[in-house]
Amino acid sequence: MEVLVILVPLALALGLVGLLAFLWSLKSGQYDDLDGAAWRAIADDEPARELPPAEAKPSKA
Amino acid sequence: MQATRDFSHYVKDAGSGLSHIDLAVEGVSCAGCMSKIERGLSAIPDVTLARVNLTDRRVALEWKQGALDPARFIDRLAELGYKAYPFETAGAEAAEAEQSRFLLRCLGVAAFATMNVMMLSIPVWSGNVSDMIPEQRDFFHWLSALIALPAAAYAGQPFFKSAWSALRTGNVNMDVPISIGVILALGMSLVETANHAEHAYFDAAIMLLTFLLVGRYLDQSMRRRTRAVAGNLAALKAETATKFVGADEITVVPVAAIDPGDIVLLRPGERCAVDGTVIEGRSEIDQSLITGETRHVAAEQGTAVYAGSLNMTGTLRVRVSAASEGTLLAEITRLLDNALQARSRYVRLADRASRLYAPVVHATALLTILGWVLAGASWHDAIVTGVAVLIITCPCALGLAIPTVQTVASGAMFRAGVLLNSGDSIERLADVDHVIFDKTGTLTLPDLEVVNASGIPDDVFRVAGQLALASHHPVAAAVARASEAKAPLAGAAEESGQGVRALLNGKELRLGRPSFCGAEQLAEDSLRLDPEASAVAFSNGDAKYVFCVRQGLRPDAQAVISALQKRNVKVEIVSGDREPAVRAAARALGVSDWRAGVTPGDKIARIEELKGQGSRVMMVGDGLNDAPALAAAHVSMSPISAAHLSQATADLVFLGKPLAPVVAAIDFSRKALLLMRQNLWLAVGYNFLAVPIAISGVVTPLIAAAAMSGSSILVMLNALRARSVANGRS
- Give B305-337 pLDDT, tens digit per residue: 887 788 887 888 888 887 655 556 666 767 767
Q: Tell me: pLDDT of B86 over 60.
A: yes
Return the H-helix or E-strand segment holding B247.
Answer: none
CA distance B241 to B263: 10
H helix intervals, B169-258: 175-194, 202-236
Ramachandran angles phi, psi of B274, nearest 5°: -135, 165
Q: How far is CA B92 from CA B227, B344, B425, B462, B669, in A?
A: 9, 19, 19, 49, 26
- The pTM of the whole model exceeds 0.80: no
Contact B44 A59 (CB under 8 A): yes
From B105, B112, B139, residue closest to A18, measured CB to CB:
B112
The secondary structure of B72-111, three-state, reads HHHHHHHHHCCCEEECCCCHHHHHHHHHHHHHHHHHHHHH
From B34, B40, B43, residue closest to A39, measured CB to CB:
B34
Mean pLDDT of chain B: 82
Alpha carbon of A61: minimum distance to chain B alpha carbons (Å): 11
Instruction: Give the pLDDT mean for B169-189.
Output: 83
User: From A2, which residue of chain B is nearest by alpha-carbon distance?
Assistant: B136
Q: How sure is the predictor about A54, in pLDDT bands with cuts at 50, 70 and 90?
A: very low
Contact B55 A55 (CB under 8 A): no
Pairing of strands B652-654, B418-420: antiparallel
Instruction: Classify the C-alpha dihedral B571-B577-B579-B580 as positive or negative.
Output: negative
User: From A13, which residue of chain B is nearest by alpha-carbon distance?
Assistant: B116
Query: Which among B110-119, B164-173, B255-264 has the top mean pLDDT?
Result: B110-119
Instruction: Give the pLDDT mean for B386-398.
Output: 74
From A47, A59, A60, residue closest to B35, measured CB to CB:
A47
B49 interface with A at CB cutoff 8 Å: no
Q: What is the ipTM, given to two decimal places?
A: 0.73
Q: How sure is the predictor about B340, in pLDDT bands with cuts at 50, 70 and 90?
A: low
CB-based contacts of B588: which residues, under 8 Å, 6+ apart?
B553, B558
Instruction: Name B316's bridge partners.
Output: B266
Of B681, B678, B679, residue with least CA distance to B689? B681
Instruction: Give the pLDDT mean for B104-111.
Output: 94
Contact A34 B55 (CB under 8 A): yes
Of A58, A61, A40, residue with least CA distance to B32? A40
Which positions in chain A touch B43 (Cβ < 8 Å)?
51, 55-56, 59-60
Contact B39 A48 (CB under 8 A): yes
Instruction: Give the amino acid at B338.
Output: N
Instruction: Give the pLDDT mean for B193-221.
Output: 86
pLDDT (0 to 100) of residue B2 = 47
Higher-confidence residue: B656 or B564? B564
Alpha carbon of B38: minimum distance to chain A alpha carbons (Å): 6
Q: How sure is the predictor about A53, in pLDDT bands with cuts at 50, 70 and 90?
A: very low
Q: Tell me: pLDDT of B446 over 70.
A: yes
Query: Which among A40-49, B198-207, B429-438 has the top mean pLDDT?
Result: B429-438
pLDDT (0 to 100) of residue B326 = 53
Q: Which of B28, B33, B35, B213 to mutate to test the interface with A (most CBs of A within 10 A)?
A: B35
Instruction: Give the pLDDT mean for B440-464.
Output: 82
Alpha carbon of A9: minimum distance to chain B alpha carbons (Å): 10
CA distance B670 to B339: 25
CB-based contacts of B561: which residues, under 8 Å, 6+ apart?
B571, B589, B590, B591
pLDDT (0 to 100) of residue A55 = 42
pLDDT (0 to 100) of residue B697 = 76
Of B720, B615, B614, residue with least CA distance to B671? B720
| Cβ-based neighbour number of residue B517 at 10 Å | 24
Instruction: Give the pLDDT mean for B115-121.
Output: 89
A18 interface with B at CB cutoff 8 Å: yes
- Give the range among A27-31, B53-57, B586-590, B714-718 with minimum mean pLDDT: B53-57
Q: Which residues of B are catalytic?
A: 438
Q: How far is CA A41 from CA B52, B60, B293, B346, B514, in A?
A: 14, 20, 52, 44, 60
Contact A48 B136 (CB under 8 A): no
Instruction: For chain B, positions 103-132, list CB contacts with chain A under 8 A.
Output: 104-105, 108-109, 112, 115-116, 119-120
pLDDT digits (tens, 9 = 90+) for B671-689: 999 998 898 888 888 888 8
Which positions in chain B touch A48 (Cβ < 8 Å)?
39, 42
Contact A59 B76 (CB under 8 A): yes
pLDDT (0 to 100) of residue B329 = 65
Calculated CA dihedral for residues B95, B98, B100, B105, nearest 10 degrees: -160
Contact A8 B143 (CB under 8 A): yes
H helix intervals, B156-198: 157-168, 175-194
Q: Tell me: pLDDT of B727 over 50.
A: no
CA distance B91 to B226: 15
Q: What percent of chain B clears pLDDT 90, i.e. is strictly above it?
A: 12
Number of helices and strands in chain B (H, E): 24, 28
Q: Tell me: pLDDT of B530 over 80.
A: no
Contact A59 B104 (CB under 8 A): no
Pairing of strands B310-311, B18-25: unpaired
Pairing of strands B570-574, B434-437: parallel
Contact B112 A8 (CB under 8 A): no
Contact A1 B30 (CB under 8 A): no
Of B397, B395, B384, B388, residue with least CA distance to B359? B395
Q: Tell me: pLDDT of B153 over 70.
A: yes
Q: How sure is the predictor about B726, in pLDDT bands with cuts at 50, 70 and 90?
A: very low
Which positions in chain B touch A5 (Cβ < 8 Å)?
none
Which positions in chain B touch A59 (Cβ < 8 Å)?
40, 43-44, 76, 79
Contact B119 A16 (CB under 8 A): no
Instruction: Give the pLDDT mean for B421-441.
Output: 86
Instruction: Give the pLDDT mean for B591-619.
Output: 89
Q: Which of A8, A20, A55 to mutate to test the interface with B (most CBs of B within 10 A)?
A: A8
A14 interface with B at CB cutoff 8 Å: no
CB-based contacts of B729: which residues, under 8 Å, 6+ apart?
B667
pLDDT digits (tens, 9 = 90+) for B18-38: 888 888 887 777 778 888 888
Alpha carbon of B363: minimum distance to chain A alpha carbons (Å): 38
Concatenated DSSP letters for B422-485?
-THHHHHHHT--EEEE-IIIIIEEEEEEES-GGGS-HHHHHHHHHHHTT---HHHHHHHHHHT-
From B31, B109, B143, residue closest to A19, measured CB to CB:
B109
Calculated CA dihedral for residues B195, B197, B199, B200, nearest 10 degrees: 10
Instruction: Give the pLDDT mean for B473-485.
Output: 81
Alpha carbon of A39: minimum distance to chain B alpha carbons (Å): 6
Concatenated DSSP letters for B589-643?
HT---EE-S--HHHHHHHHHHHHHTT--EEEE--SGGGHHHHHHSSEEEEETTS-
